[in-house]
Copies of this chain bind each other. A is one copy, B any other.
Amino acid sequence: MKIGELSRRTGASIRALRYYEEQGLLAPTRLPSGYRIYDERSVATVHRIRVLLSAGLGTSAIAEILPNVYDDSVVLTGRCPELHEGLAVERARITKQIEDLEAARDILDSLIGRPLVITGG
């Protein structure tokens, strides 16, 4: 499929898809005209990219991870302890981020759930 369809099917903008390629996250083939051609797996790949991006991973970190998820569950991590460590670091970061978010949510809850009006209840 061409970039427009992939964009529609993933929700990612065309600009974003080109950016992902530039960052080494996608490697579409090309028509003689230069048009990008994506295969079906690209749809899942883009979804994963977006999940990881929204989790705060940078494109470079994702670039290291993606090849390992490439075949949807083929994992090579065991062969690369450095990568394994890097992933653990990211995992810890995410866990802490979740805790921070829960703390922030608690603050909001203290405003939403307990509307204790004091200026004359």
Main secondary structure of the interface of A (DSSP, over half): helix
| Residues of chain B contacted by A65 (CB below 8 angstroms) | 107-108, 111
| Residues of chain B contacted by A108 (CB below 8 angstroms) | 65, 87, 90-91, 94
> CA A118 – CA B112 in complex, angstroms?
51
| Residues of chain B contacted by A105 (CB below 8 angstroms) | 55, 91, 94-95, 98
Number of identical monomers bound together in the oligomeric complex: 2
Given contacts A51-B104, A84-B112, A95-B105, 16 further A-B contacts (CB under 8 A): A48-B107, A51-B103, A54-B100, A54-B104, A73-B110, A73-B116, A74-B118, A75-B111, A75-B114, A75-B116, A77-B112, A88-B112, A94-B101, A98-B98, A98-B102, A98-B105
